[in-house]
A and B are shown apart, each in its own frame.
Chain A
């Protein structure tokens, strides 16, 4: 079980690549109030987003949330219904995809099947009328950067493995030195092991070239691993934009909390907010009421709210142990997940809980067992209740 020391704030493990970016310069990508309608269907309903030079930003959300649509607007494949997109301070309205300083890595890679690997990678330079010799030199440079073997150059893409094709696609996108690299779920079709390899590859690439990455994915773990900031979208809106730890520990609403990984949401009633303290009453766990520092409560949380407690923050306690919040529950299911064990437990208040405990815990639980579970207030976050 992970017990985090200290108050909410910087998380104990560092998500965002470590490198400090220049926060003061003008954004490389500035999206203002973009709307996109397909007939009567509104795919984007007023999205604004500002991305800093060199940042790795992940757009995540369930399918149909508009993340790919947003990427297409940035790339210039489609025109927005209204709103503006500026790249490096230049308004992109009316600029076709061919003239934008962006480059896309497609979901199915879109490698040209009739061109060799060398022709594929060199294609953007060929279109820019770069001399043959220089193209060859740059292709070789890209090959080294992407750790591809030179023997692949004369092969056709379909003769390559999935991971190699991925590298070729990345090389083709990087060779024209774009200001923005747009990635449309390029890793989604790979098997888990290869995915992990390419994720760290992407991270390494991002660090070494310093290009701004906009990465669309529905895989949250991937977004957490790679991105400096995550932008959670749903039904054409941005729900939350923040650093991975922020999104994970301080989700804006129940949807983000649930999307970003399994969690427990206890209904609570906020009774008063004064002098930095928030009082609440709760019928969903054993303590009838309590008090929290304001820093642990979302500003929008009023009245009916939800207390977000991650499964790994709940631990088994003895009846005498002192914790801030406690609940009695009956264990219904046990799943062993390698290093940790996942439990499902049914509370006496009628809620189903997810609990995750380190496999080496001295207090394992059995199915059917009646247990005391507890968590500390410093680990929690209260977010607005009701359906978002």
Chain B
């Protein structure tokens, strides 16, 4: 692999072949990023963009703790969502991959359906369920519980519930694929070597799921950092998260440079966390295709 990398820069044919991909990446990904970055050095006055080239926006960003509180809150919510999703998804994916082998196709169809059902619809469904006069309380009262047991709609917990609910399929799917691809004989080999079920799990299944855990976590984390529907609908807009803040900055306050700066901060911090996570999980250890 390494020889290939070294060679590619000097191989005109390879460069030629890479050109369409390079062009696409540049126009659709790199160029907008650069433009966003340039935008942070401008100002808006009277709802008009002025090309000023100064650091006013950045001074603003770094001097107001408000933005950083929201960013911190967003990251905590996203990380909590990742943790909860992994814990919930692992047993589900494990069961699906090992115990219900015969239902494999049905399971895949169901998981796909969970993906393609509109998140807005599902999120509003939760409002009906969690409302003080909603389905959950109605059922619980009917069962003899005191009224209004469920009253956490429009709090962070409701937001988290919605996030977990909407993002869980990503964890199930990635974990399912990685557990499914583990050779059953490796588990047998662990038993044969003298491992108990738990030990085989810990020493073999879990480490071999690392790529799935990593992929699932990164997906959920990045999607979780960007949620705006759940905090608005289930959280009631009481404690906004970064995506909502950025939307407001662009749309309501029409402060594009500030919006761009906030976007940049969120992006850099997220990417940094993902890289850190990959280092912690040891994804570069040569056991996996790195």
The answer to whether B189 and A114 have CB atoms under 8 Å apart is no
B102 to chain A, nearest CB (A): 12
The answer to whether A98 and B196 have CB atoms under 8 Å apart is yes
The answer to whether B185 and A106 have CB atoms under 8 Å apart is yes
The answer to whether B189 and A113 have CB atoms under 8 Å apart is no
The answer to whether B195 and A127 have CB atoms under 8 Å apart is yes
The answer to whether A110 and B194 have CB atoms under 8 Å apart is no
Query: Which residues A66-113 have CB closer than 8 A to chain B?
Result: 75-77, 96-99, 102-104, 106-108, 110-113
B117 to chain A, nearest CB (A): 36
For residue A123, CB closer than 8 A to chain B, the reply is yes
Residues of chain A with a CB closer than 8 A to B192's CB: 75, 77, 97-98, 102-104
**With contact pairs A127-B195, A128-B194, A176-B194 given, residues A106 and B287 touching in the complex (Cβ less than 8 Å):** no
The answer to whether A123 and B208 have CB atoms under 8 Å apart is no
For residue A124, CB closer than 8 A to chain B, the reply is yes
B: contact size bracket: 20 to 34
Interface contacts (Cβ under 8 Å), in number, total 66
The answer for the CA separation of A172 and B189 in the assembled complex, in Å, is 10
For residue A152, CB closer than 8 A to chain B, the reply is no
B194 contact from A98, A108, A112, Cβ within 8 A: A98
The answer to whether A114 and B207 have CB atoms under 8 Å apart is yes
The answer for the CA separation of A5 and B5 in the assembled complex, in Å, is 67
B188 contact from A104, A114, A124, A156, Cβ within 8 A: A104
Tally of A interface residues using CB under 8 Å: 27
Residues of chain A with a CB closer than 8 A to B185's CB: 106-108, 110
The answer for the CA separation of A110 and B207 in the assembled complex, in Å, is 15
The answer to whether A112 and B204 have CB atoms under 8 Å apart is yes
B189 to chain A, nearest CB (A): 4
Residues of chain B with a CB closer than 8 A to A106's CB: 185, 188-189
The answer for the CA separation of A172 and B285 in the assembled complex, in Å, is 22
For residue B286, CB closer than 8 A to chain A, the reply is yes
**With contact pairs A98-B196, A128-B194 given, residues A110 and B189 touching in the complex (Cβ less than 8 Å):** yes
The answer to whether A113 and B199 have CB atoms under 8 Å apart is no
The answer for the CA separation of A124 and B195 in the assembled complex, in Å, is 8
The answer to whether B193 and A108 have CB atoms under 8 Å apart is no
The answer to whether B189 and A112 have CB atoms under 8 Å apart is yes
What does DSSP make chain B's interface, helix, strand, loop or mixed? helix
The answer to whether A113 and B208 have CB atoms under 8 Å apart is yes
The answer for the CA separation of A102 and B193 in the assembled complex, in Å, is 9
**With contact pairs A112-B186, A114-B208 given, residues A98 and B287 touching in the complex (Cβ less than 8 Å):** no
Residues of chain A with a CB closer than 8 A to B203's CB: 112, 123, 127
Residues of chain A with a CB closer than 8 A to B199's CB: 127
Residues of chain A with a CB closer than 8 A to B191's CB: 76-77, 96-98
With a 10 A CB-CB cut-off, give which of A76, A104, A113 has the most chain B CB atoms.
A113
Query: Which residues A149-201 have CB closer than 8 A to chain B?
Result: 156, 159, 172, 176
Contact with B along A109-121 (1 / 0, CB 8 A): 0111111000000
For residue B183, CB closer than 8 A to chain A, the reply is yes
The answer for the CA separation of A159 and B285 in the assembled complex, in Å, is 13
**With contact pairs A97-B188, A104-B189 given, residues A156 and B286 touching in the complex (Cβ less than 8 Å):** yes
The answer to whether A123 and B193 have CB atoms under 8 Å apart is yes
The answer for the CA separation of A29 and B185 in the assembled complex, in Å, is 23
With a 10 A CB-CB cut-off, give which of A96, A98, A106 has the most chain B CB atoms.
A98
The answer for the CA separation of A302 and B216 in the assembled complex, in Å, is 69
B193 to chain A, nearest CB (A): 4
A115 to chain B, nearest CB (A): 8
Residues of chain A with a CB closer than 8 A to B208's CB: 113-114
With a 10 A CB-CB cut-off, give which of B199, B203, B210 has the most chain A CB atoms.
B203
Residues of chain B with a CB closer than 8 A to A124's CB: 193-194
The answer to whether A114 and B193 have CB atoms under 8 Å apart is no
The answer for the CA separation of A77 and B189 in the assembled complex, in Å, is 10
A124 to chain B, nearest CB (A): 4
Nearest-neighbor residue (CB-CB) of A128 within chain B: B194
The answer for the CA separation of A123 and B191 in the assembled complex, in Å, is 11
The answer for the CA separation of A333 and B208 in the assembled complex, in Å, is 54
Residues of chain A with a CB closer than 8 A to B188's CB: 75, 77, 97, 104, 106, 110
Query: Which residues B185-243 have CB closer than 8 A to chain A?
Result: 185-186, 188-196, 199, 203-204, 207-208, 210
A selection of 7 A-B contacts at a CB cut-off of 8 Å is A98-B192, A99-B194, A108-B183, A114-B207, A115-B287, A123-B193, A123-B203
Other CB < 8 Å A-B pairs besides A77-B192, A106-B185, A110-B186, 20 of them? Answer: A75-B188, A76-B191, A97-B188, A98-B191, A98-B195, A99-B194, A103-B192, A106-B189, A110-B183, A110-B189, A111-B189, A112-B186, A112-B203, A113-B208, A113-B287, A114-B208, A114-B210, A115-B287, A127-B199, A176-B194
Top 4 A-B residue pairs of the complex, sorted by shortest distance between their CB atoms: A110-B189, A124-B193, A114-B287, A110-B185
